[in-house]
Amino acid sequence: MTLTPTRTTAALLALLALLGAVGAVTAVPDARIAIDAVDASSSEPAVGERTALNVTVSNSGGSPAAADVRSVRLFDAGDAGDVDDDDLRDEATAVGALSAGDATDVVLWTRFDEPGEHRLTVEVVAEQEATGGDDDGGTVTVTRDVVVDVQPAEVALDVRTRALSPADLRSDDESEGAGGISVGGIEGVFGGGSGGLQAAEEDEAESVRSADSAVAVTVVNTGTSTADRVSLTAVGAPVGASGGGDDAGDGSGDEAGDDGDGGAEPTVEVGPFVVEDVAPGEERQVVVDLGPLDERSDVTVTAAFRSELDAPVGAGANRTAESTVRYPPREGSPTVTDATVRTTDDGEVVVDANLGNEGTGELEGVVVSVAGAEGVDPTPAGREYFVGSVGAGDFVAFDLRTAANASVADSVPIRIAYTERGVRYTETATVALPDSSDGAGGGSGSGAVGTLGTLGLVGLVGGAGVAVAGSVIRRRDV
Q: pLDDT averaged over the chain?
A: 73
Picking from 258, 262, 238, the residue whose alpha carbon sits closest to that of residue 249 is: 258
Superfamily of the domain at 334-460: Immunoglobulins (2.60.40.10)
pLDDT band at 91 (very low <50, low <70, confident <90, very high): very high
Domain coordinates in residue numbering, the chain = 29-150, 157-327, 334-460
pLDDT band at 292 (very low <50, low <70, confident <90, very high): confident
Picking from 374, 428, 430, the residue whose alpha carbon sits closest to that of residue 403 is: 374
Is the pLDDT confidence value at 75 over 90? yes
Strands 283-289 and 214-221: antiparallel
Confidence (pLDDT) at 437? 56
CA-based radius of gyration for the chain: 40
Sheet-wide strand order for 456-460? 385-390, 363-370, 411-420, 423-432, 456-460
DSSP string, 274-291: EE--B-TT-EEEEEEE--
Confidence (pLDDT) at 377? 87
- pLDDT tens readout for residues 238-291: 876 433 344 433 333 333 334 444 567 888 899 899 888 888 889 888 889 888
- Mean pLDDT of all residues in 9-13: 44
Confidence (pLDDT) at 50? 83
The reported pTM is 0.53
CA distance 283 to 267: 28
Give the dihedral of Cα atoms 278, 283, 287, 293; nearest 10 deg: 90
- pLDDT tens readout for residues 387-418: 999 998 999 999 998 888 877 888 889 999 99
Confidence (pLDDT) at 208? 54
pLDDT band at 136 (very low <50, low <70, confident <90, very high): low
Residues of the chain above pLDDT 90, percent:
23
- Amino acid letter for position 55: V
pLDDT band at 44 (very low <50, low <70, confident <90, very high): confident
Contact present, 333 and 372 (Cβ < 8 Å) = no
pLDDT band at 348 (very low <50, low <70, confident <90, very high): confident
Looking at domain 29-150, its CATH class is: mainly beta
CB atoms within 10 A of CB 256: 7
What secondary structure letter does DSSP report for 151? B
Intrachain domains 29-150 and 334-460 with the same fold: yes
CA distance 303 to 318: 10
DSSP string, 16-33: HHHHHHHHHHHHS-S--E
